Amino acid sequence: MKIKNLWSVAFIALIFGSSSAIADGHKGKSLEDVIKMLEEQQEEIAELKAQLGEAGAETINTPQSPDAVGAQRSRWSPTGGKKKISAGSWAAKTSVGGYGELHSEMLNGKDGAGDLNRNDIHRFIFFTGHEFNDWIRLATELEFEHAHVQDTDDGTGQGDVVLELMWLEMDINSNHHVRAGADILPIGLLNLTHEPTTFYGVDRNNVEAEVIPTTWTEATLGLWGSLAPGWNYNLNVHSGLVIPTTGSSAMRPRSGRQKVGNAEDQDLAIMGRILYNGIPGLEVAYTFDYHADYTGTDDTIDADAWLNEFHVDYAHRSGFGIRALYARWDFSADNGFDPEAFDADDIMGWYIEPSYKTDIMIGQLGVFYRYSIVEYYSSYLHH
């Protein structure tokens, strides 16, 4: 430990300094000079100790997101470790980061599907975080999609600029925290942790993209924390989906997201999650999300919906890993509107994904196999 080493050096210096001073005293220095020298050395030790305290950092159980509130690998995760500067300048308490994805897709179509040959800067993310003090912190995340934004008035724009999250968090105590703002809901595996190196494949899997739907940001007020070693929870009140009931996107959960951008006619929703990660490499979680009116408040329909999600994620130190996830929506009918007319009174999906990764000279190499089913509009998609 640095502190121990520092004290050892200081103690040795004190001994040799004192011995030297006493020896010099025999040669003519007074006792006053010896005492003064000892006092100066004590002051130097106190200054070194204070500097070490300022420069040191302690690890606390803070997010991200995010579990921007969530998964233990997330940069804003409440179940992961994030460094907090105990003292220092404003800049030292500010974190800046980001990542980007360039997709190159060359696919041969089968069964009548067309070929795909495309290069796309799918997204660039810039995020910042700031610790105001030991118990209040801020996080923001800005996303740019598809390299540029064209005319958005007529809907032909190819890109997006999205504020993916912006929240303020305060500690109630060391185990429980409150967060308010625009936040990514902690549902599933990829909603919170969707950096390119944290999942296999170029694009996110269809189960989480369509059923959950990932990535999903809402205005929210939430609590998160630890109930016992390895046991963590989230409880959120948030703005709900406004799922279309007509047109080509009718009863598609993904089309019900408004991303907290001039979002209108949203009813309230309540989300809860329990997560266990008490065994190294293991995460097991169950989440429910209840929407009081999934069609929004600007119609005569007052129909509720339930989302249930369960997943297991295990990564062994040998490199072998496995993921499995199940998610299901149940939609009710009301006032003449029946989602069963779209064969969408329930929407379900699941996948299982064994994998193996190993270290190579330039990083890591992984292989995986994923089998998934999405039940959506009476069709099954196998991948």
Do residues 40 and 106 share a domain?
A: no
User: Is residue 60 assigned to a domain?
Assistant: no
- H or E segment at 45? helix 31-55
pLDDT of residue 88 exceeding 60, the answer is no
Do residues 16 and 107 share a domain?
A: no
Cα torsion 191, 197, 199, 202: sign? positive
> Which residue range(s) make up the domain with 48?
2-55
CA atoms within 13 A on the CB side of 28: 0
User: Is residue 220 assigned to a domain?
Assistant: yes
- Verify cis geometry, omega within 30 degrees of 0, for the bond prior to 297: no
Do residues 320 and 279 share a domain?
A: yes
* Vertex 58 angle, CA 223 and 221, to 5°: 15
Do residues 89 and 206 share a domain?
A: yes
User: Is residue 306 assigned to a domain?
Assistant: yes
Domain count for the chain, please give it.
2
Q: How far is CA 281 from the centre of its chain?
A: 17
pLDDT digits (tens, 9 = 90+) for 110-155: 776 778 888 988 889 999 999 999 999 999 999 998 888 766 666 5
User: Is residue 270 assigned to a domain?
Assistant: yes
User: Is residue 318 assigned to a domain?
Assistant: yes
Do residues 236 and 91 share a domain?
A: yes
Do residues 41 and 73 share a domain?
A: no
The pLDDT assigned to 290 comes to 98
Q: Please, which pLDDT band fits residue 76 given cuts at 50, 70 and 90?
A: low
Do residues 14 and 76 share a domain?
A: no
Do residues 23 and 150 share a domain?
A: no
64-68, 81-85, 274-278, 362-366: lowest mean pLDDT where?
A: 64-68
User: Is residue 28 assigned to a domain?
Assistant: yes
Give CA–CA dist 378/73, Å, rounded: 35
User: Is residue 151 assigned to a domain?
Assistant: yes
pLDDT digits (tens, 9 = 90+) for 215-247: 999 999 999 999 999 999 999 999 999 999 999
Task: List the beta strands (DSSP E) in 108-230.
Answer: 116-131, 136-145, 160-171, 176-184, 217-228
The CATH number given to whatever domain includes residue 101 is 2.40.160
The pLDDT assigned to 29 comes to 54
Give CA–CA dist 237/134, Å, rounded: 25
pLDDT of residue 9 exceeding 70, the answer is no
Say which residues have a Cβ less than 8 Å from residue 208's Cβ, sequence separation at least 6. 188, 189, 190, 191, 214, 325, 327
Do residues 251 and 111 share a domain?
A: yes
Do residues 24 and 147 share a domain?
A: no
Do residues 32 and 101 share a domain?
A: no
